[in-house]
């Protein structure tokens, strides 16, 4: 059995709800869909018992009526587990994972600034990456948001 199949079996064995939801895309790449409320228990298990001790990054996705959030975790030997949750766009809140990975703070702030998601439990700190005087309610990575060239910021 390959290492990827080991991870897949472990996920399905431990968590009933992941049956048919774990996909091995190629060597070292595993994708899994998780319900938002189950994310923490899956994360906890994979970090503590399966060696997924690095967080590569967190990706936000605008999928119409929902937001997708993909947590890219990695092991020491280069395997990546992509855990994807979906949250409703009209109530886009999710919990921070900074107690597992302090480095998640920057990626979660990106989700807040660029998608307008609400990340609960983040420590106080400056926003990232948009400027402090960025207009409220403008979230550039939402699909409906279009960029416009401006005389003000772009010279002429």
Q: Is 117:60 a contact under the CB 8 Å cutoff?
A: yes
Residue 48 CB, nearest approach to other proteins (Å): 13
Between 88 and 129, whose beta carbon lies closer to other proteins? 129
Q: Which residues contact other proteins (rule: CB under 8 A)?
A: 25-26, 28-29, 31, 53-57, 59-62, 70, 72, 76-78, 80, 82, 101-103, 105-107, 114, 125-131, 134-135, 138, 140-141, 145, 147-156
Q: Where are the beta strands (DSSP E) in the chain?
A: 22-26, 29-33, 54-63, 66-74, 80-88, 93-95, 118-120
Which of 16, 23 has the CB closer to other proteins? 23
Give me the least distance between CB of 16 and other proteins, in Å please: 25
Question: Which residues lie across from 24 on neighbouring strands?
Answer: 30
Residues 6+ apart with CB under 8 A from 148: none
């Amino acid at each position: 059995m390959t290492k990827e199949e080991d991870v897949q079996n472990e996920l399905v064995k431990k968590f009933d709800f992941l049956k048919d939801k774990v996909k091995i895309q190629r060597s070292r790449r595993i994708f899994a869909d998780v319900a938002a409320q189950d994310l923490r228990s899956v994360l906890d298990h994979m970090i503590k018992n399966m060696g997924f001790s690095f967080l590569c990054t967190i990706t936000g996705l605008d999928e119409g009526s929902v937001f997708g959030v993909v947590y890219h975790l990695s092991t020491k030997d280069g395997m990546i587990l992509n855990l994807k949750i979906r949250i409703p766009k009209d109530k886009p809140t999710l919990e921070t994972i900074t107690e597992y990975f302090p480095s998640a703070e920057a990626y979660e702030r990106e989700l807040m600034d660029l998608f307008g998601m609400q990340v609960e439990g983040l420590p106080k700190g400056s926003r990232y990456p948009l400027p402090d005087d960025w207009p409220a309610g403008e979230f550039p990575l939402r699909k409906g948001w279009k960029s416009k060239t401006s005389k003000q910021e772009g010279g002429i």
